[in-house]
Amino acid sequence: MTKDQAKEFLRKSNYYIRIKALTYNFEKDKNGIYVNLDFKYLKKFSVWDTLLRDLILEISLGCEHFLKVKLHQHFCETDEDGYEIIKKFEEKCDKKNKFESKKSLYTIFVR
């Protein structure tokens, strides 16, 4: 890959900082020059990185959708009163907050 091609790739397709981060996986000689490193390798790694990121995002969004559907099914199929659940939750939180506020009177640590 020529210098001009590398510049064009960086200008149009990627960020210098991302490419530079990939160089940390390569050795340098005693003069600080990278050993056996060509920009085309960095370009390939950059493309792979993008593909992997897209794949992980797609899988994450699929998992999120699946979990939302399952939660929705669960809540729609139960006969529990949602207001009663909230009331119990608030009561539990109030008890915990009272305990925490009493506890904080006896500690030197501030939260």
List pLDDT tens digits, range 86-96: 888 888 887 76
Among 71, 26, 67, 64, residue whose Cα is nearest residue 45: 26
Q: Average model confidence (pLDDT) for the chain?
A: 85
Neighbours of 18 (CB within 10 A): 14
Domain boundaries, the chain: 3-66, 79-111
**DSSP 8-state assignment for residue 26:** S
Q: How confident is the model at residue 104 (pLDDT cuts 50, 70, 90)?
A: low
pLDDT by residue (tens digit) across 20-52?
888 888 899 999 999 988 888 888 988 899 999
Q: How confident is the model at residue 15 (pLDDT cuts 50, 70, 90)?
A: confident
**Percent of residues, the chain, with pLDDT higher than 90:** 31
